[in-house]
Structures are given as structure tokens and as C-alpha cells.
């Protein structure tokens, strides 16, 4: 049995912070919560953040000079990230997440390293998550259309110089696996790696990147196996344009018709949802995952989160590999999301309870399919995040300031002292418990720099490609399906 004394305990939504609490942990669960000794010290203890949309990326925007680029032109920059050992890359990605305050992470695995067969790589990613100690939702990427732009790409390729067009074809226009093989791969990998903290999900990239046949197959197999699905939806206005032309009945109605709108499904972004689509998503019980920093950084927009909540949607939060300061700080992301969406003047759109549920229980459900997360209560998972209360409160004048007010005003990953997941200490005294994160980061950076020459061809083509991608979308060619 493990005992944790909290100066303050914020157990979850609809609960006020309580001072001087003692929490016991037994067998991966919370055993008891009771009053503790007033002089025992301790920090501010709360449920860890559930990062419900991410990609386990190994590089940041600034490392490959892709900052300040809209999404449709930014995505090709991922080809500039060299392939490296997936275990090393994943230990860094998950280690950074833990240090940022996340106890559960959705890895929508859209960027395969490709140095081995995929099942071998998936085993290494799962091993990394277990070694770090996080709950992992592993959404296996499925895609079979629109590799460069929405709709036909002939005009884009014709606009490129001959050399660059050949490079782009070689890099981006590789044949896709047949839909049936992609779906079978998900189940095969799940049979190998699922369990012990890892949940495998179908990860269709998005409707604009997946054929109806592939999506219908995923829907059928999700229903058959009870397997969850995680995908992008309506992240940019260009995707909205394409969707309205391709599915005149409505893209959300289309997803409902084919069986991909239910409580097993979570959708990332959803910036361009219409109110009637929000209501249908709420009625069917699907989850929306908002990504505040990412939406701003790649110029996609600001999601109407307040309206989603008003219409009854279950909303979670994710960092999408694009935290505002490139630091995987889930606490800062929570604060940014709250500041963006909470109110206009005295008109409130999001309560604090809704925020805590969003970053906790709702995200945990999207990642794991479990409804017992995001709270600290007897019988619940032994997942606890402890923040340095002395540092948070160092400048207080009013000693009665609510701990949550202080957290929302200034909490960052610098305040993370300890993180416990399923009863195991993942962060101890401000350091990752499993290994030296700085050493792994150093090895990863060295490996990427060593492999950087492999990207010479696409680096040469990138200015031409980005300029023509901009023209393609500005001139509305993305709607020429």
C-alpha cells in the first residue's frame, strides 16, 4: 500500500478542493481518501491530464523550419523528419508527455518510422509507453485517398517544376494497402500489444483521406469487435469546403449513416462543425477533442467549444504534438483552452467543472474506453498528479485563494512534482522515474541530425510545393473533386 498526503486535493469535477487529505493506493486503485495530518506537507493533488489527441511525434515545428505554415502546407513538412528507432522516439514523446502532466495519451500514429514491419514497430511503441508508465490509446493510421490535396492532384503536379514533381511523386504518391489489409492489420496488432495499459483503436486519418469503402469497413469491424475509433474531422475551412461538395447531405450525417457516429468514436478538432452537427454528435454520444494550441499555430481557427458544450457534446482536450511553447505542457494547454473558451464578458460558455471533466474524465474515456478515470475516489484508478503547492502559492497575499484559481492563473509543467499512473510512480520529485529523459532526448537529436541528409530531395522541393499548395487552396482547386 502507498500513502500520499496532499496539502490540497482536487478530486475531480463537481468537487471543491479539500485541505490536508490522505490518499492510499492499493493494487492500481485508490483504496481510501480521508483527512490527513495538518502538518504533513504535500502538494496540490488532482487527476492527471488526459491528452486525448496526439501523434507521438519526435520533432518540433521549429526543428524543421515549419512554424507559421497553414495545415495543408504544413503536413508535407512531416517528410522532413528522418526515420529513427521507434522505441527511442516514443520514449521521448511519452516521457515529455508525462513531464507535462499527462497520465494518458492518445497516439494517433500517422507518422510510421518504417524501419521494420509495422507490427514490430507497434510493439516498440507499446513497450515505450509501458516503460514510461502511461495509459496509451494507440490509434493505428488508416488512409487510402488524397495523398497531397483534397480531390485531384494533377493540376498541383503540373504546376511544380519537373524535378520537384518527380520528388513529390516519389515521396507522397506511394500506393496504399488495400482497405481490407489495413483493417486486418489493426486487429493483428491489437492481438499482439493490447492490454497492460495499452488500448488499440482504429485511426482513420479523416474522411477526406479515407475512401467510403475503408470507413465502412472500419465501422463494421468497430461494431463487431467493440473497438474504438479516433479520427480528424473538419479541422480547416478547406476540409469543410471539400466535405460540403463531396457529401451534400452533410459529412456528419454521412458518418452516422455508415456507422461511425457512436460512443466508441472520438473526433479531433471539429473547428468547422455546424450547430445541427454538434447536436447529432451529442445525441449519438461521440467525443470531440479540441486542440487549442494546434488550431492556432497551424492557422486553422478557434473551435466553437462553448457552443459544443451548450448543445450537449462530450468534449475532451489534446495537444496534437503542437503545444504552444513546443514543450508538451498539458497544464498550460488546459489554461489556454479555458482562456479561449470560458466567456465573453459576463456571458459564460464553459464552467470550471466542465473544464476539469474535459481534460480528465472525457479524455480518459476517449483514450481507454473506461468511465472511471478523471476522478480520485475509492475504487477508481490510482492516477494522481501532484503539483508543487509551495511554488504555486509562493506569492499569495490572500491565503484563502482557491487552489483551482491559482492553478488556472499560473500552473505549468514546472510545477509537476510527482505523477502516479495505475499505482506506479512515473514522475518522482520532478524527474522521469523510468530513465534519464535528457539522455534519450540527446540520443534522439543526434540520430535525427545524422539522418538529416536523407531528406535532401524533399527539402529542395519544399518551397515550390508550399507555394503551389497555397495557390491550390486560395484559388479553390481543393473543391475540384
pLDDT in tens, 67-113: 999 999 999 999 999 999 999 999 999 999 999 999 999 999 999 99
Q: What burial class does residue 446 get, using C-beta atoms within 10 Å of its C-beta: 0-12 exposed, 13-18 middle, 19+ buried?
A: exposed
Confidence of residue 7 (pLDDT cuts 50, 70, 90): very high
Angle at alpha carbon of residue 134, lines to 106 and 269, rounded to 5°? 20
* Four-CA torsion 178, 183, 184, 189, nearest 10 degrees: 120
Per-residue pLDDT tens for 405-422?
A: 999 999 999 999 999 999
Check residue 381 and report its DSSP letter: B
Q: What burial class does residue 475 get, using C-beta atoms within 10 Å of its C-beta: 0-12 exposed, 13-18 middle, 19+ buried?
A: exposed
Under a CB-based contact definition with an 8 Å cutoff, are residues 167 and 458 in contact? yes
| DSSP H or E run through 91 | helix 86-99
Task: Name which residue leads in pLDDT, 193 or 477.
Answer: 193
Under a CB-based contact definition with an 8 Å cutoff, are residues 269 and 227 in contact? no
Domain limits, the chain: 2-44, 47-374+433-479
Q: Which of 55-64, 185-194, 309-318 has the weakest average pLDDT?
A: 55-64
Count of other CB atoms within 10 angstroms of residue 471 = 13
**Coil, strand, or helix at residue 472?**
helix
Count of other CB atoms within 10 angstroms of residue 229 = 25
Check residue 441 and report its DSSP letter: H
Confidence of residue 478 (pLDDT cuts 50, 70, 90): confident
Under a CB-based contact definition with an 8 Å cutoff, are residues 52 and 367 in contact? yes
Per-residue pLDDT tens for 203-252?
A: 999 999 999 999 999 999 999 999 999 999 999 999 999 999 999 999 99
Query: How far apart are alpha carbons 13 and 363 in whole angstroms?
Result: 13
Per-residue pLDDT tens for 294-320?
A: 999 999 999 999 999 999 999 999 999
pLDDT at 123 over 60: yes
Length of the chain: 481
Per-residue pLDDT tens for 315-360?
A: 999 999 999 999 999 999 999 999 999 999 999 999 999 999 999 9
Q: CATH for 47-374+433-479?
A: 3.20.20.140
- Strand segments (E) across 143-291: 198-204, 229-233, 265-269, 287-290
pLDDT value of position 136: 99
Question: Which of 310, 247, 239, 242 lies closest to 268, judged by CA?
Answer: 239
Q: Which residues contact 298 (CB under 8 A, 6 or more apart)?
A: 69, 70, 71, 74, 322
Going from the C-alpha of 176 to that of each of 142, 168, 180, 214, 315, the distances in angstroms are: 9, 16, 11, 11, 32
Transcribe 454-469 into DSSP letters: GGHHHHHHHHHHHHHH
Per-residue pLDDT tens for 246-269?
A: 999 999 999 999 999 999 999 999
Transcribe 306-363 into DSSP letters: HHHHHTT-EEEE--TT--TTSS--HHHHHHHHHHHHSEETTEES--HHHHHHIIIIIH
Per-residue pLDDT tens for 372-386?
A: 999 999 999 999 999
pTM to 2 decimals?
0.97
| DSSP H or E run through 8 | strand 2-9
Which whole number is the average pLDDT over 137-153? 95
Task: Name which residue leads in pLDDT, 481 or 415.
Answer: 415
Q: Which three three-digit cell numbers place residue 202?
A: 482504429
Q: Which three three-digit cell numbers place residue 405?
A: 484559481
Per-residue pLDDT tens for 18-58?
A: 999 999 999 999 999 999 988 778 999 999 999 999 999 88
pLDDT value of position 59: 87
Count of other CB atoms within 10 angstroms of residue 130 = 17
Percent of the chain with pLDDT over 70: 99
Question: Helix and strand tally (H, E) in the chain?
Answer: 19, 18
pLDDT at 481 over 60: no
Under a CB-based contact definition with an 8 Å cutoff, are residues 47 and 376 in contact? yes
Whole-angstrom Cα Rg for the chain: 22
Query: How far apart are alpha carbons 299 and 399 in whole angstroms?
Result: 41
Per-residue pLDDT tens for 411-451?
A: 999 999 999 999 999 999 999 999 999 999 999 999 999 99
Helices 251-258, 237-246: crossing angle, 10 deg rounding: 60
Query: How far apart are alpha carbons 133 and 309 in whole angstroms?
Result: 32
pLDDT at 480 over 70: no
As a whole number, the mean pLDDT across the chain is: 96
Transcribe 98-132 into DSSP letters: HHTTEEEEEEEE-----SS-HHHHHHHHHHHHHHH
Q: Which three three-digit cell numbers place residue 391?
A: 511554488
Query: How far apart are alpha carbons 355 and 351 in whole angstroms?
Result: 6
Amino acid at each position: 500500500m502507498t500513502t500520499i498526503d496532499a496539502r490540497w486535493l482536487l478530486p475531480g469535477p463537481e468537487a471543491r478542493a479539500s485541505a490536508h487529505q490522505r490518499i492510499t493506493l492499493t493494487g492500481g486503485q485508490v483504496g481510501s481518501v480521508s483527512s490527513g495530518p495538518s502538518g504533513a506537507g504535500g502538494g496540490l493533488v488532482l487527476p492527471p491530464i488526459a491528452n486525448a489527441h496526439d501523434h507521438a511525434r519526435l520533432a518540433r515545428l521549429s526543428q524543421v523550419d515549419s512554424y507559421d505554415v497553414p495545415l495543408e502546407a504544413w503536413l508535407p513538412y512531416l517528410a522532413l523528419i528522418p526515420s529513427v528507432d521507434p522505441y527511442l522516439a516514443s520514449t521521448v514523446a511519452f516521457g515529455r508527455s508525462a513531464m507535462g502532466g499527462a497520465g494518458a495519451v492518445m497516439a494517433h500514429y500517422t507518422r510510421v518510422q518504417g524501419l521494420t514491419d509495422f507490427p514490430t514497430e507497434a510493439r516498440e511503441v507499446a513497450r515505450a509507453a509501458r516503460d514510461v508508465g502511461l495509459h496509451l490509446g494507440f490509434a493505428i493510421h488508416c488512409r487510402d485517398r488524397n495523398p497531397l490535396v483534397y480531390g485531384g492532384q494533377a493540376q498541383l503536379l503540373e504546376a511544380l517544376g519537373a524535378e520537384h514533381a518527380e520528388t513529390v511523386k516519389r515521396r507522397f504518391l506511394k500506393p496504399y494497402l488495400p482497405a481490407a489489409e489495413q483493417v486486418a492489420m489493426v486487429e493483428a496488432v491489437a492481438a499482439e500489444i493490447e492490454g497492460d495499459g495499452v488500448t488499440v483503436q482504429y485511426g482513420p486519418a479523416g474522411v477526406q483521406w479515407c475512401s467510403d469503402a475503408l470507413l465502412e469497413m472500419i465501422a463494421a469491424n468497430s461494431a463487431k469487435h467493440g473497438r474504438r475509433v479516433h479520427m480528424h474531422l473538419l479541422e480547416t475551412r478547406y476540409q469543410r469546403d471539400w466535405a460540403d461538395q463531396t457529401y451534400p447531405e452533410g459529412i456528419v450525417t454521412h458518418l452516422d449513416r455508415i456507422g461511425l457516429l457512436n460512443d466508441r468514436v472520438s473526433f479531433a478538432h471539429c473547428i468547422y462543425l455546424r450547430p445541427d452537427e454538434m447536436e447529432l454528435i451529442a445525441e449519438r454520444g461521440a467525443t470531440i477533442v479540441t486542440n487549442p494550441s494546434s488550431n492556432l499555430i497551424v492557422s486553422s481557427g478557434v473551435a466553437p467549444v462553448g457552443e459544443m458544450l451548450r448543445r450537449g457534446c462530450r468534449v475532451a482536450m489534446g495537444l496534437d504534438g503542437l503545444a504552444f511553447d513546443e514543450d508538451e505542457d498539458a497544464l498550460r494547454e488546459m489554461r489556454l483552452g479555458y482562456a479561449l473558451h470560458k466567456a465573453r464578458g459576463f456571458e459564460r460558455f464553459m464552467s470550471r467543472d466542465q473544464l476539469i471533466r474535459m481534460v480528465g474524465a472525457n479524455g480518459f474515456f476517449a483514450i481507454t474506453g473506461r468511465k472511471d478515470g478523471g476522478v480520485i475516489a475509492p475504487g477508481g484508478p490510482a492516477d494522481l498528479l501532484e503539483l508543487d503547492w509551495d511554488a504555486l502559492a509562493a506569492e499569495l497575499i490572500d491565503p484563502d485563494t482557491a487552489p483551482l484559481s491559482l492553478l488556472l492563473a499560473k500552473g505549468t509543467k514546472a510545477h509537476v512534482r510527482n505523477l502516479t499512473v495505475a499505482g506506479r510512480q512515473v514522475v518522482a520529485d520532478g524527474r522521469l522515474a523510468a530513465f534519464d529523459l535528457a539522455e534519450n532526448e540527446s540520443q534522439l537529436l543526434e540520430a535525427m541530425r545524422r539522418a538529416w541528409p536523407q531528406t535532401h530531395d524533399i527539402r529542395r522541393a519544399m518551397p515550390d510545393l508550399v507555394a503551389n499548395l497555397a495557390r491550390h487552396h486560395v484559388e479553390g482547386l481543393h473543391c475540384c473533386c
